[in-house]
Each structure stands twice: as C-alpha cells, then as structure tokens.
Amino acid sequence: MYNSMFLQKPLRSKERVLLIGGLGFLGSSLAELLYNEGHDVHILSSSCTHAFAHINYKQLALPLSDTEGVLLYARNACISVVVHLASRMKPSSDYSDFQIEYSRIVEPSLRLFCGLAKLSIPIIYYSSGGTVYGLSHERVLKESFLCKPINLYGHVKLIYERQLRDLAQSSSLRYLILRPSNPYGPTQRVSGKQGFISAVFNSLLTGSTLQIWGRGDAVRDYIYINDVSSAVCALINRGKWNATFNLSTGVGYSLLDIITLVENLASTKLNVEYLPSRSVDVPRAVLDNTMLRSAIPFSPLDLEHGLMTMLQSLI
C-alpha cells in the first residue's frame, strides 16, 4: 500500500514551480491556479507559444531531451518543485506511438528524474487513474490495488510511477503520484481527440456524428478540471509527499449517461454512431477518493453542474 505513511513537509508561501507539459489542458489550469496563489510559474516548452495573456510566467525554451540544460535551469532558478505532465499518447495509441513517446519523452524524463533526485527537488507526476488499473471486478478502485493496464498508455504511466518510487528508496527524493480520473472543463479543446465529454460537446457544436466504441455502457469517473488543480495545490501546500492519490469524484457515469445529460442541458438530440468495441478500453473505471479526502478538504463539483458550466462557456 503506497500511502501507509505520508512524508509531511509543506512548501513555503511562495515557491518556484517548473511545469513540464504546462501548456496543455491540465497544465494550463494548474499554472493559472499556482500563479493566483502567489507562486512563481516556470514552463518548459520548446515552442515560443504564449498560452497565458493574463498571467506572468517564465518560459524555458528547451527541448525535454536537453536534460542537462533543464537541470542547470532548475538549479540556477532555484526551482523548488517540478510537475511532470508531458505526454503525446492517449489510451488508443498503438506501438508506433509508444516508440515515439518512449524515445522523445519517457527516456529524457527518466534521466531528468534522476538528476532532480540528486538536486533534492520534489517531483509531482500526473499519471492516469483511468488506465493504470486495467480490468477489475471492483466497483471502485483504490490506490493500493494491483495495476494491470490493458493499453500502452497505462503501461507508460506505470514506468514513471515505478521510477519515482525506486528513486525515493535510494535517495532523499520527495514525490507525489497523481491519478486523475477523466478531467473535463471549459478550457478543454472540444476539437481535440481525447476526452469523451469534449467529443460530446464537439458533436453538439458542429452537428457532427458522435462515435462510440461499443454499446455506450462503459462507465467512467469524470472530474471537473478546477477540482483537479485545487487538489494538487492543496496537497503541495500541506506537504503530502511520497504518496499516490486518486483524483476523482468516486461516482461513475456511462457514456450514454453523459449523452443524456448534455442533450437535456442543451435541449437537443445528438447523432450517435455505434462502432465495434475496442480492446484498449476497460468497461468500468471509477476511482475511490477516500485517501484524498483524508489528506485534504475535498468536495468536487457534481457532473451536471460541471457540464452546465462547460456548456455556458462554449455558447
């Protein structure tokens, strides 16, 4: 059981936080909240894209493969915690996607983790609660359960998790492993290719056909993006290190439930196409959040209100 004992060491009131993959959906939400709480936000990005017009952040324009350059920056900028969110894979990714991910992101990230451990800089890693557990007969999935992912995306997430735990045993590294369920929210790109709720809203806005693999009875746990970021900040501020946490509502909804909720909120019907089920999709993934609730105050937004907020932001 990973969380039998927390390492308690809160951050100071103002910290320098480096986000790796900080320009995406999860990262941008966390960056904004960290900035609003008074922390210095640094973002590693090889591009010169400035995603935030309303917050002041420092960009490190280096490729992740330049491990020594990133470590030098972390040391000189007195970075106090690194958050790793970088990934280009999704649950349906195939082996060619895995090979690219491993060479371009996983290998340099593992080297970076080793370097950060030597510098005693804590690492927060965003894993995937929806994929690492794999098939299970349990109604809700606890952090202590054995992980047997059925897709390459989940396997990659476990590579990072194991590396962090191994480093913590052989060094003074502090880490947090976070397993979000299925985040959604207003800042998510509905034209993207990941996230069922974003696909539903894309169909609603464009009139395109919504494709579902299987009968629509797959059950997932959906969590509002602000609740994810708020939970992460609370865990950091309270010093809950060397632990693994599910970030979830603990409530399951089927794909058909989501469609019905959105149709009712928008007073319209969606055109749905049912395709053969995929071997990379588990039939049920609902995460237990008891451990999280014991560590921080946590009251996630219910799904219907979250969907209404997202709908209002899009129309």
Closest CA to 81 of 116, 29, 37: 116
Q: What is the CATH number of the domain that holds 58?
A: 3.40.50.720
Which pLDDT score, from 0 to 100, does residue 4 have? 44
Kindly state whether residue 98 falls inside one of the protein's structural domains: yes
Which pLDDT score, from 0 to 100, does residue 69 have? 97
- Quote the number of domains for the chain: 1
CA gyration radius, the chain: 19
Kindly state whether residue 212 falls inside one of the protein's structural domains: no
Which pLDDT score, from 0 to 100, does residue 1 have? 46
Give me the sign of the Cα torsion angle 242, 244, 249, 250.
Answer: negative
Higher pLDDT residue, 193 or 271? 271
Which pLDDT score, from 0 to 100, does residue 190 have? 86
State the pTM of this model: 0.93
Kindly state whether residue 210 falls inside one of the protein's structural domains: no
State mean pLDDT over 5-33. 81
Which pLDDT score, from 0 to 100, does residue 53 have? 57
Which pLDDT score, from 0 to 100, does residue 51 have? 57
Numbers of helices and strands, H then E, in the chain:
10, 15
Kindly state whether residue 32 falls inside one of the protein's structural domains: yes
158-161-165 Cα angle (round to 5): 140
Query: Furthest-apart CA pair in the chain: how many Å?
Result: 57
Tell me the per-residue pLDDT of 132-164, one tens digit each, with 9 for 90 and over.
999 999 999 999 999 999 999 999 999 999 999
Kindly state whether residue 78 falls inside one of the protein's structural domains: yes
Kindly state whether residue 199 falls inside one of the protein's structural domains: no
Q: Which two tokens stand for residue 30?
A: 């966390």
Q: d(Cα 222, Cα 197) in Å, to the nearest integer?
A: 9
Kindly state whether residue 200 falls inside one of the protein's structural domains: no
Which pLDDT score, from 0 to 100, does residue 48 have? 52
**In which band, very low, low, confident or very high, does the pLDDT at 6 lie, cut at 50, 70 and 90?**
low
Q: d(Cα 128, Cα 197) in Å, to the nearest integer?
A: 17
Phi, psi values for residue 155, rounded to 5°: -60, -40
Kindly state whether residue 235 falls inside one of the protein's structural domains: yes
Residue 184: alpha-carbon gap to chain centroid: 10
Q: Where are the beta strands (DSSP E) in 237-286?
A: 240-241, 243-247, 252-254, 272-275, 284-285
Domain residues for 176? 7-184+224-248+289-301
Query: What is the 8-class DSSP label of residue 103?
Result: I
Is the Cβ–Cβ distance between 17 and 41 less than 8 Å?
yes
| Residue 170 identity | S
